[in-house]
Amino acid sequence: MTANLTVKSIVDLVRSGKQTPTQLAAAYLDRTRSIAQKLNSHLHLDEAAALSEALAAEKRIHEIGAHRLPLAGVPVLVKDNICVRGSKTTCGSKILENYVATYDATVIKRLREAGAFVLGKLNMDEFAMGSSNENSAFGPVRNPWNLNYVPGGSSGGSAASVAARLAPVALGSDTGGSIRQPASFCGIVGLKPTYGTVSRFGLVAFGSSLDQIGPLTTTVEDAALVMDVLAGLDASDSTSVQHPQSDFARGLSENPDALKGMTVGIPEEFFESGLDSEVGACLERAIADVQRAGAKIKRVRLPNISYSVAAYYVIATAEASANLARFDGIRYGYRTKEAGLGLKDLYRKTRSEGFGQEVKQRIMLGTFVLSSGYYDAFYSKANKVRELISRDFDAVFDSGVDLILTPTSPTPPFKLGEKLSDPLAMYLSDICTIGVNLAGLPAISVPCGRTKAGLPVGMQLIAPKFNEQTLLNGAHAYERATEWHKDQPAI
C-alpha cells in the first residue's frame, strides 16, 4: 500500500476517513522492517514511539479536524542532526552516540501541529560532512537503486528512505548540497530553501551561515505542501525571516504550465569539462523538455563560480571548527574512558576518539584558516569571493532570467568506496550545488533521467532569494511534462 502514497494522497485518505495515522504508521513500519536494514538508512527506529506519535496525531485530528490540518496523518522521517525530544540525536557520530535530545526542533513542532508525526531518525554523514554517506560512525547508507552504490550525502539516509518509499517525506539539512545531491542520486525531489526561510532551531550546527533544513519527497507538490508548514519566522532563530510568499501548494495548481513564458538560464560553466557524459546527455534532454514546455533558453555566465569549492571549504570548515568546539567530553556526549587526564588531555583524547577522520580534518582546516596570521589570507578572502559569487547570480537574474538550470551533480551515483581515498574528488561532487549555499539562494533537484546502468540523474533549478514559488512552479511544470518522478527502485 505505502509504495505509491504521496503526502498529498495520504492527506486525502485521512480526510476521507479511509486511513488513520495509526494504520499508516503500521504499514510503513512493516515496510521498513523488510527494507531499512538492507539500506542501513535508519539509526533510531522505536516502533512503540512511532505508534505513540501516530496516536497523538490521530487525537489531534479528532480534536481539530483533518481538513484544518495541512499534513493530517503524514509520517515523516528525520535526519539525525535535527532534535526530536526523547530520541537520540547522534549526528552520525560516536561523540553523540548516546545523546538524547531534551527538546524538539522548531520544524518538528510545526510538523506535529500540522497533523504529521515522526516515524524515525535517519543515518547521515557525521555532522553532515560528506557527499556519499560513507562518513557515518554507524556505517554507510546504500542506494536503493543499486546497493553497491552510494546514495549521496550528507542526507543519504533521508534520500534513500524516501526513494525506497519508507516514508513520503524526510527532512534533511543542506550546507553545500546535502539535500539536493542525494535527492539526485536517489531519483527524488530535494528542496533547499532560501537561507532564513526555515528555522534552524534544533538543528545541530555545521556551518551556521550556510545550513538550511528542507524536505525530500517524491513529487514537487509534496515539497510545496511541506514547505507551507515549515516556512516562517521563529523567535528562537534570529536568522529566520517571515517569507514574503505563502501557500506554495496552491500556487502550483494556479500555474500548472508555469514554464511557459519563463526565461531559463543555462550557465556555461556547469556544462564544460568535468561533466560526466551520461549526466550531460540527460541534462540536454531536460533542457529540450523545458523548452518544449514553453520556456525561453538563455546561455549565461557565472564568472566566479569556479572558485566556489575553494571558498566553501574555507568558510564551512571555519564555522564547523567553532560550532564543534562544544563537544569536549565535559558537558554531554562521549568522554574518553582513560582515567587521570588533565583538562587538555581530556579534550584531546575525547575528541580524537569521538570524531571520525573527515570531521577531524575539517576541524583542523577550519582552525588553521581562522588562526592568527592566516585569517586575512584565507577566511577573509573566501568571504570576498562569496560576495562575488552572490553578485554573479544577481546579475544573471537581473538580466531577465527567471530560473537557472544546472546538473545537480557532475556525476551519477558512484560505487561505495570509490572516492574515499581521494578527498578532492569527493569534494567536487558538490561543485554544482555549493554556490547556491554561498549566495543563500533557493534551489531544487528533480529527477531528469537515468544512466545506462539504471542509476538516477538529477536536474537543479535555482531561483532568486525568496522566490520559492517561482522555483516550485517551474519544477512542477517540468515534472508534469516528464515521467522520471514516477520511477521507483525495485528494492
Asked if the structure places residue 208 within a domain, the reply is yes
Q: Which listed residue (154, 158, 199, 409) is catalytic? A: 154
Predicted confidence at residue 479, as pLDDT, reads 97
Q: Is 380 a catalytic residue?
A: no
Residue 483 has pLDDT above 90, yes or no: yes
Asked if the structure places residue 388 within a domain, the reply is no
345 CB neighbour count, 10 Å cutoff: 12
Q: Is 184 a catalytic residue?
A: no
Q: Report the greatest alpha carbon distance in the chain.
A: 71
Q: Which listed residue (41, 79, 240, 308) is catalytic? A: 79
Predicted confidence at residue 245, as pLDDT, reads 87
β-sheet with 443-450: strand ranges across = 42-44, 117-122, 75-79, 169-174, 212-217, 189-192, 443-450, 456-462, 403-407, 263-267, 296-300
Q: Which listed residue (178, 199, 240, 308) is catalytic? A: 178
Predicted confidence at residue 61, as pLDDT, reads 97
How would residue 272 be classed by pLDDT, with cut points 50, 70 and 90?
Answer: confident
Residue range 83-104: average pLDDT? Answer: 97
Asked if the structure places residue 371 within a domain, the reply is no
Top-confidence residue, 420 or 40: 40
Give yes or no for a contact between 225 and 219, defined as CB atoms under 8 angstroms apart.
no
CATH number at residue 135: 3.90.1300.10
Residue 429 has pLDDT above 90, yes or no: no
Residue range 358-363: average pLDDT? Answer: 96
Domain region containing 136: 2-262+403-486
Least confident of 158-172, 330-344, 378-392: 330-344
From the centroid of its chain, how far is CA 147?
21
Asked if the structure places residue 99 within a domain, the reply is yes
Residue 135 has pLDDT above 80, yes or no: yes
pLDDT digits (tens, 9 = 90+) for 17-44: 999 999 999 999 999 999 999 999 999 9
Least confident of 196-200, 337-341, 385-389, 486-490: 337-341
Average pLDDT across the chain, whole number: 96
How would residue 408 be classed by pLDDT, with cut points 50, 70 and 90?
Answer: very high
Residue range 180-189: average pLDDT? Answer: 98
pLDDT digits (tens, 9 = 90+) for 307-347: 999 999 999 999 999 999 999 999 889 999 998 899 999 99
**What residues pair up with 298 in beta bridges, in sequence order?**
265
Q: Is 199 a catalytic residue?
A: no
Position 173: which residue type? S
Asked if the structure places residue 447 within a domain, the reply is yes
Give yes or no for a contact between 116 and 71, defined as CB atoms under 8 angstroms apart.
yes
How would residue 1 be classed by pLDDT, with cut points 50, 70 and 90?
Answer: low
pLDDT digits (tens, 9 = 90+) for 37-70: 999 999 999 999 999 999 999 999 999 999 999 9
β pairing state of 169-174 and 403-407: unpaired
Reported pTM: 0.97
Q: What percent of the chain lies above the pLDDT cut of 90?
A: 92
pLDDT digits (tens, 9 = 90+) for 219-267: 999 999 999 999 999 999 999 999 998 899 999 988 889 999 999 999 9
Asked if the structure places residue 316 within a domain, the reply is no
Could you tell me if residue 235 is left (phi over 0), alpha (psi between -120 and 50 degrees) or otherwise beta? alpha
Please report how the helices 220-230 and 7-16 are oriented relative to each other, as an axis angle in degrees rounded to 10: 70
Predicted confidence at residue 340, as pLDDT, reads 87
State the total domains in the chain.
Answer: 1
